[in-house]
Structure 1
Amino acid sequence: MGKPVHSAAASALGYQHQTWWALLELLRANHLRPDAAICLELHDDIAWEQAGSATELLQVKHHQKSDRQLTDASADVWLTLKNWMDTAMPCDTDGPALVLVSTQQAKPGSAMAALRPQTRSEQVALSALERAALHEASGRIQDAREQFLALGQVDRAAFVSRIKVMDSSPHIEDIPALVRTELRWNLPPGHEDLFLAMVWRWWDEQALALLQKRRRAVDIGMARAAIAGLRDQFTRALLPTVAAREETGDDALITDYADSPFVHQMKWVGYPPVNLRHSVIDYHRAQAQAIRWIAEELVAADELTALSRDLVDEWETEFEWMQIELAATTDEATRQRAGARLLRDLSQRNGPCLQNRYHEAFFVRGQRHELADTGRVGWHPEFRDRMRTLQARS
């Protein structure tokens, strides 16, 4: 059982390396390909597009802690060549450039070494590949070698002329430092790690959309604008959103907070289940956001205290009007509807904001639920009595 697990881990690492390498490609090409866009698993592992047509195809090979060299007999080489012969019109001299990116070092004197940009010799590479193709192999590697020889001399030369090898490329653990270097002029002083975490989160979302075919490509202009937008959140007038909306964690959150006072408060007024679910998520995100802001010294505790005070003042006014309207009503269903309407109406308002520095609605909604969790605000006309009963049981 050990071998398949190891193989799966290496494969997963390779896919992760591929997506991270695509971000590095995107950042490095910022000024070199101003109108280009990058794709994942569309034309190849990674591809550059111009006006919807592929201009460069990249096969990305990752070998963790391997001392083996990239030779003309390597499976990586022949499986890559077969992929390109099957899909990239190898005989077309005007076809997209073909790039093999490998963490392994090309063996001196090999075709792979001859296809490096700095030591390029297409004739040496062609001759070396032809010699390697004459050696028998098995399976798809043998198929690839026979297919290569079947191209004919002129077509083989045309094919090899489009190939470039980028050997000794960085390993996956080196990519974050390289991304940081590419973004060095954008790093907000004092908050570098937080900003980089936000860039990575943005890229993870884009990569997932590319792999799921919800997005065809990410162009350089889009990447530049997104990164600039993240950087702008670190001006003195604004605060960054650092708590992501994690879809996969929703069910766990509902379970974790099932017995929290703020959830009981919503149940006391018969708050609809979908709205209750979203409220739990708002509460969790707002809590995580406030903790991270304080840890990063982006917000002082006094600012959050002032926001809570403003939210309580807003609530007191509306709660008093509700009590006046219900003064002659003892019907529980009516009282519940009034409480639910109070919470709904407040949730739909922009409401107070954090020193005019942050305006995302989820944060204010979450802060209201935090106040409800401590009993400072509530929705049912008798919420105070019920909170005392709830606290006595705990």
Structure 2
Amino acid sequence: MTGYLYQCELALLELARHSWHDADIEVRMELLDDIEFLDPQETTPRELLQSKHREAAGPLSETGKDFWRSIASWIDALKVLSGTPGTSTPLLRLVSTQIAPESTFLHQLRSGADRDISKALVRMEEVAKDEDGPDTTAKDRALYLKLTPAQRHQLVSAITVNDGAPVMSDLDSKLAKELGITPSDHAQAALDEIKGWWYGMAVRLLERKNPQRMLPSVSAQQLMCRRDEVTDRYAGKNLPITETLRNLTQAEIAGYTDRLVVTQMRWVGLPDSEVAMHLRDYHHARAQRSEWLRTFKITPERLEEYEGELHYEWETTFRRRTRRVRDEMDEEDRQAIGQDILDDTMDRVADTPPRPGSATAPWVAKGSIHGLSDQADTAGPDRALGWHPDYDRLCRRRNETQEQ
């Protein structure tokens, strides 16, 4: 079990390391190898990584299954990749918590001045042919010997042994360093939040049955965005406002005429001037949120949490204001209550930041909750909202009319 958890956290650590020099790189797990790194512009992985965790310190064995099962896995992966046009051999990394002794080919496959492919090839062939070798790796060694000399050279040239990797209990300190989390009173809490997010991503990376849940990869940009969300919250940093608030043109307003966001305001009898004012917030909030997502200033997961917080503020107002609604109440009075719901909601959400601990322009929250009103006919009960006391009935009638 520790080995599986180690693989998951090692993928996070390696992604953080890669992010310093390549923000576009992506990671995935359990497809061609334990961990894979790929460039979104390329058709084949850049790197295949085997993760080997052993709590007990000791030497990495030339005849052991950690190495030879990795060899078998890489041979299978390269066969799959050979069918892809323009394929180049990826880097093949064996990351082990054990140490490669100096007298072994494992030591000769480490990066650095002592690396010697020729000597490693000779010694690997001797080990692979040894009839007294362990039965547990016999099939894997035989698979290696079936390769042509050229294929063996290609395979071994791509291998790098990274021995002496940190054990599970030492990963947190390494991860904090790679994420740039400096020692502070909140360092562990920040690290725990990032790891919690990552385990959720890992579950989706490993999903194979439900396409709705499946996640093909996670990029270094996504990780850095989540890191910034968490660390900035403890530091109180604000999201940048890049939109310049301005009144919309008549043409821009006309573009929203048939949208539910406008219809909802019409149902409570708002005049054109107020509709234009609210549309201004809605228009710019949409653009600002899109910019934050595009530039990895915020994650979709955090925006979903934010919408939940806005919905809570609306629901509190809606329940209070609709307590006095009676069946015999006329439409004019219902519209007046709807206007109160709208006004009170805007006051409540104005200071709700997209990222806890920060501050932002009030129109971001106001426009975002209008975005929820624009989806009231399709959203679930935890996201649907409106201003008119009977907005849900009016939404259903509107949908029926459109279908007809």
Report the TM-score, using the length of structure 1 for normalisation: 0.58
For 1:74 and 1:204, the matched residues in 2 are separated by 30
- Give the counterpart of 1:146 among 132, 142, 147: 142
Structure 2: gaps of 5 or more residues? 209-213, 240-312, 330-337, 357-364, 370-404
Which AA in structure 1 matches 2:128?
A
Q: Which residue of 2 aligns with 1:287?
A: none
Which AA in structure 2 matches 1:46?
I
How do 1:244-263 and structure 2 match up within 5 A?
Answer: none
Question: Are residue 132 (structure 1) and residue 127 (structure 2) matched?
Answer: yes
Larger mean CA deviation between 78-87 and 349-358 belongs to: 349-358
For 2:158 and 2:186, the matched residues in 1 are separated by 43
What is the Cα deviation at residue 237 of structure 1?
7.3
Deviation per residue, 1:343-382 (Å, 9 max, x gap): xx99x96773596455799xxxxxxxxxxxxxxxxxxxxx
Structure 1: gaps of 5 or more residues? 1-11, 240-309, 329-341, 362-394
Q: Residue 165 of structure 2 aligns to a residue in which SS? A: coil
Q: Residue 76 of structure 1 aligns to a residue in which SS? A: helix
How do 1:309-388 and structure 2 match up within 5 A?
Answer: 318=321, 321-322=324-325, 325=326, 352=348, 356-357=352-353
How do 1:222-241 and structure 2 match up within 5 A?
Answer: 222-234=222-234, 236=236
Which AA in structure 1 matches 2:200?
E
Q: Residue 101 of structure 1 aligns to a residue in which SS? A: strand
Q: Which residue of 2 aligns with 1:297?
A: none
What is the Cα deviation at residue 117 of structure 1?
0.4
Question: Are residue 34 (structure 1) and residue 35 (structure 2) matched?
Answer: no
Q: Which residue of 2 aligns with 1:78?
A: 68
Question: Are residue 121 (structure 1) and residue 124 (structure 2) matched?
Answer: no
Question: Are residue 109 (structure 1) and residue 109 (structure 2) matched?
Answer: no
Closer, same or farther: CA 352–74 of 1 in aligned 2, 3 Å? same
What is the Cα deviation at residue 238 of structure 1?
7.1
Closer, same or farther: CA 90–216 of 1 in aligned 2, 3 Å? closer
Closer, same or farther: CA 356–80 of 1 in aligned 2, 3 Å? closer
What is the Cα deviation at residue 36 of structure 1?
1.6
What is the Cα deviation at residue 109 of structure 1?
1.0
Which AA in structure 1 matches 2:127?
A
What is the Cα deviation at residue 34 of structure 1?
3.0
Q: Residue 205 of structure 1 aligns to a residue in which SS? A: helix
Closer, same or farther: CA 205–187 of 1 in aligned 2, 3 Å? farther
State the 4+ residue runs in structure 1 displaced beyond 6 angstroms: 90-93
For 1:206 and 1:24, the matched residues in 2 are separated by 14
Same amino acid, percent of matched pairs: 26
Larger mean CA deviation between 83-92 and 126-135 belongs to: 83-92
How do 1:41-80 and structure 2 match up within 5 A?
Answer: 41-50=30-39, 51=41, 52-64=43-55, 66-80=56-70
What is the Cα deviation at residue 190 of structure 1?
4.2
Partners of 1:102 and 1:166 within 8 A in 2: yes
What is the Cα deviation at residue 40 of structure 1?
0.7
Closer, same or farther: CA 190–129 of 1 in aligned 2, 3 Å? same
